[in-house]
Structure 1
Amino acid sequence: MQQEDRDGLPQPQRRGAVLAIAVAIALAVIDSSIANVALPAIAADLRVSSADVILVVNAYQIAVVVSLLPLASLGEKLGYERIYRAGLTLFILASFFCAMADSLTGLTIARIAQGLGAAGLMSVNTALVRFIYPNRLLGRGMGINALVVASSSVLGPGVASAVLSVAHWPWIFAINIPIGLAALVLALRYLPATPRARRRFDVASALFSAATFGLLMTGVEQFARGGSPLVAGPLVLAGLLAGFLLVRRQAGRTAPLLPVDLLRIPIFALSIATSICSFAAQMLTFVALPFFLQHDLGRTQVETGLLMMPWPLVLIVVSPLAGRASDKLPAGLLGGVGLGLMATGLCLLSLLPDAPGAFDIGWRMALCGLGFGLFQTPNNRTILSSAPRERSGGASGMLSTARLLGQTTGAALAALCLRLIGAGGADTALLVAAAIAACAAVISFTRLRATPR
């Protein structure tokens, strides 16, 4: 029987499929930040500058952003489970080459491949949930999936700290291999067969999409690392041209690869803008903090990871509570208050005394996690619910794209601060992150006038 003829999966197949998705997507999301704590050590080991080593983070993010929407569209054509399994296989292989890399160039190429594999997981993750759970339990499935993504997005430093306490930095990538293989076995056995769309895959639109995000993000990254404006400028302009051609080609289509038409819905557009700004502030913080804690405050790699853990721990507790609160309170209010708390926490981190104790750092990190937790789940719920039901796939793709655009921009801004300011760059980066979070809070509050709730 085809999966489209059934209402979800029976037990125990459902449990196996949920576990396969949870483990794989957690690996993909964690690896967007797992290298952050180790960046100073990687820079020293590979003999590159602090600004240059951030390419290890940006290469992964750019690869995901470039391929996310094309792979989502390809999943509709070939089957979501096939894209998921292929992405997981590539992710495992690329993790091996990341662990074996002995130069920044080699590590960057492996991270690009790893990002392409991660995009295969992220692009169809939400769509698979719809075929795993019966309709009556779909909300529960979406909630579990959102919690995994939300907690994984900030667990990277803690996981890295645990690994670095007993091993060298290549092991933060090598650990993906056995866990990924276990997830692949589960995916091969339990993931359901999904419908195949009969329409043709739009190769031209996929190429325009990849060029738009790839050229724009690469141009910004080049500028942030001190590249020549004669190189960065044309890359950005070429990306804008590709974006124009993509929007023009997609105009009037019922299922566009880049669903920019959804941005005509005010609450949707404001929620996407809030998401981009908030994730930019988060990634800017998580890239700058290891340099701030290790170079400015003299903490070790392991101490750095542990000191960053209050953020994800509080987030894990607050996210489901915020999700329930969003049933009664508008996301604009919850997000505005939360992002205001996050901006306050970031300002307080930048104003730490010269020799702060662990508690001084920890409660500020917890305040940031509290604020981010109040924002994220209600915001995601608003993005998905404000789009027409038949456009849920496009809304999900835009949600992931907004998160990744924000994270890539944040990493580039961190590199820019470290390059231009040097020794005080990490401290300045925290203030910039606070300013961006404050802007996101303002945007979130404006949603109160864009929604009847």
Structure 2
Amino acid sequence: MNAPAAAESNPWPALWALVIGFFMILVDLTIVTVATPTIIEDLDASVNDVVWVTSAYMLAYAVPVLITGRLGDRFGSKYLYLAGLTVFTLASLWCGLTTTVDALILARVVQGFGASMMTPQTMAIITRIFPPAKRGSAMAVWGATAGVAMVVGPILGGVLTDGLGWEWIFFVNIPVGVVAFVMAWRLVPALPTHAHKFDWLGVALSGSAMFLLCFGIQEGHQMDWAGWIIAMIAGGIALFVAFVLWQRFNRAEPLVPLSLFKDRNFSVSNVAIMCMGSIGASFGFPLMLYAQAVRGNSPTQAALLMLPMAVMSIFLAQPVGKLTDRLHPRQVLGFGFAVSLAGFLLLMWRLEPGIAVWEIAVPMGVIGVGNAFIWAPTAATANRNLPIQLAGAGAGVYNATRQVGSVLGAAAIAVLMDSRLAHYLPGAAAHGEAGAARIPDPHVADLFSRAMQQSLWLPAAMYAVGLVAVMFYEKPRHEGFGH
């Protein structure tokens, strides 16, 4: 039986093949966070430099993802996925071999570009190979993979950094990439392609806007919000407005068909996933720095503080996935955001020197319960009402939105950590001493904890925004919902 026929009769093997590569590229969004203090010390870098190691990956991931969704429709989703997987795997080798933070940032840009080629293909392929009755369950698996990857990344990063060195958080991608390539080549079908007129002006406007906004936000505090930084941010906003207007008046084939947003559930899902992207990219940095600098935890010990979150997300993934075909998304996601916000506020309240491990584990477990009710249902609800011909465009927009949230979240958390450290410990943020080793002075440790605690208001605010947004969901229109 050939691949297309096999996928038509049983598409699940193709899904699992795609999930391996998708999981790997999402793990790399957060795997660096726990290794931040070690990289600061080994490469003689600042906190802001190392945040750019993640931001560069996210930015290179986010900017092209709109066009790569369309490229998959034109040249074949399977083949663009395999090309992106090859780029990603080779760039991972480059990351592990670097000896300077500048070279590491450059390698991460290439790695992010490979990820941008892969992600929209996974969502588009799933949408096309699964019948409507099973699409919700399949997208739930895809969405749960994103949620689990966000918390597994730091844990895996801690184990590898402690056991083998920070370089191995990148080297580990090589065997996984090879396995993912072989499985995708054998199990993923080569689907029919469609002709497209590519909106290169839209690509240029959206990419330029994203770069100017993110670079300006992240470097603003370091540069004392100089005039040219403000001009970059203003320019980014202006270009984004120009991009939206161009999409509205482009009579050929816009990069983002604005008709997508006529579907309320697609629009709400994009707000929700942008919030989650921001949370996933931002909350790990303050927490991991607190754990290692204040508590004196090793990278592995620090990462294991997130284990309850990962366990609950994995344990609940299957039962929550089944709920997405039966319950109103407002109920499922409203519960998820409310529980996660409550757990996060509890974590912030207790984040002080000398607290017991269980005082961190309990709120992390609560956050994990809430997150399980967010990641998969959001993905399952986003494209459910869209026509099949918009699968590629919808996947591209959804993934771009998540990455926009990740980029802005990483940039904003760098600003907050820098400003809070500068307030409580002048000079520490610029030179990286505060994050490189345990702080022996109890008074300094208390001030550092306050800085990290206040930085966590960003992800807390994003949970609150997401909670408000999901109240606007409407009942899905697909046949058989609720049975």
TM-score, structure 1 as length reference: 0.90
Q: Give the corresponding residue for 1:276.
A: 274
Q: Which secondary structure does the structure 1 equivalent of 2:33 belong to?
A: coil
Tell me if structure 2 keeps the 8 A contact 1:270–1:447.
Answer: yes
Alpha-carbon distance in 1 for matches of 2:243, 2:9: 41
Deviations 1:375-407 (A, max 9, x none): 222222222124344433322222212221222
Paired residues of 1:414 and 1:429 also in contact (CA < 8 A): yes
1:156 to 153, 156, 159: 153
- Please show how residues 109-124 of structure 1 align to structure 2 within 5 Å: 109-124=106-121
Q: Which moved more, 1:289-298 or 1:203-212?
A: 203-212
How big is the shift at 1:49? 1.7
Give the partner amino acid of 1:301.
Answer: P
Q: Displacement of 1:28 after TM fit?
A: 0.5
Q: Tell me what 2:380 maps to.
A: 381
1:326 corresponds, among 324, 327, 345, to: 324
- Residues 335, 375 of structure 1: 8 Å contact kept: yes
* Comparing 119-128 and 106-115, the one that deviates more: 119-128
* Alpha-carbon displacement from aligned partner over 1:240-268 (angstroms, at most 9, x marks no partner): 34333433333365853223332344443
The answer as to whether partners of 1:344 and 1:434 remain within 8 angstroms in 2 is no
SS of equivalent residue, structure 1 residue 195: coil
Question: Which stretches in structure 1 are left out of the alignment for 5+ residues?
Answer: none
In 2: Cα distance, 1:359 partner to 1:213 partner: 40
Instruction: State the Cα distance separating 1:449 from its structure 2 match.
Output: 10
Q: Which moved more, 1:431-440 or 1:170-179?
A: 431-440
CA positional deviation for 1:282: 3.3
Q: Identity of counterpart residues, as a percentage?
A: 26
Cα 1:40/1:128, change in 2 over 3 Å: same
Query: 2:336–2:369: 8 Å Cα contact kept in structure 1?
Result: yes
Give the C-alpha shift of residue 231 in structure 1.
Answer: 3.4
One-letter amino acid matched to 2:58 = Q
Change (3 A) 1:225 1:328: farther
Deviation at 1:56, TM superposition (A): 0.9
2:312 maps to which residue? 314
Change (3 A) 1:333 1:190: closer
Q: For residues 87-146 of structure 1, give each alpha carbon's deviation from its aligned partner in whole angstroms, at most 9, with x where no partner exists.
A: 111101110111011111100000110000011111211112245556665444333323
RMSD: 2.8
2:469 equivalent to 1:443: yes
Structure 1 residues 324 and 180 mapped into 2: Cα distance closer, same or farther (>3 Å)? Answer: same
User: Which stretch shows the higher mean deviation, 407-416 or 263-272?
Assistant: 263-272
1:231-250 matches, within 5 Å, as 231-250=228-247
Of 180, 184, 207, the match for 1:183:
180
- The answer for the alignment partner of 1:199 in structure 2 is 196
Q: Which residue of 2 aligns with 1:395?
A: 394
Partner Cα separation in structure 2 for residue 15 and residue 52 of structure 1:
41
Shift of residue 269, structure 1, vs aligned partner: 2.5
Q: Give the C-alpha shift of residue 285 in structure 1.
A: 1.2
> Distance between the aligned counterparts of 1:433 and 1:392, measured in 2?
30
Note closer, same or farther for the CA distance 1:90–1:261 as it changes in structure 2 (3 Å cut). same
Give the match's secondary structure for 2:380: helix
Aligned to 1:361: 360
Q: For the Cα contact (< 8 Å) 2:278–2:405, is it kept in 1?
A: yes
Alpha-carbon distance in structure 2 between the residues aligned to 1:443 and 1:38: 34
Per-residue deviation, 1:314: 0.7
Give, as a single letter, the amino acid of the residue that structure 2 aligns with 1:270. Answer: V
Q: Does 1:141 align with 2:149?
A: no
Q: Distance in 1 between matches of 2:329 and 2:23?
A: 25
Number of paired residues?
450
The equivalent of 2:454 in structure 1 is 428
Q: Distance in 2 between matches of 1:368 and 1:134?
A: 33
**Of the two structures, which has the highest relative contact order with CA contacts closer than 8 Å and spacing of 6 or more?**
2
- Report the CA distance between 1:195 and its aligned residue: 1.9
How many Å separate the matches in 1 of 2:259 and 2:134? 30
Pick aligned residue for 2:343 from 342, 345, 352: 345
- Secondary structure at 2:30 match in 1: coil
CA distance in 1, matches of 2:476, 2:121: 30
Shift of 1:303: 0.4
CA distance in 1, matches of 2:316, 2:214: 32
CA deviations over 1:189-215 (Å, ceiling 9, x no partner) = 333222222233333332233223233
Aligned to 1:295: 293
AA matched with 1:268: F
User: For 1:396 and 1:52, how far apart are their aligned partners in 2?
Assistant: 31
**Residue 3 of structure 1, CA deviation:** 7.7
Partner of 2:28: 31
2:124 corresponds to which letter in structure 1? Answer: A
Distance 1:300 1:288, change over 3 A: same
Q: Which string of whole-angstrom CA distances, capped at 9 and with x for unpartnered residues, describes residues 24-47 of structure 1? A: 111101000011100111111111
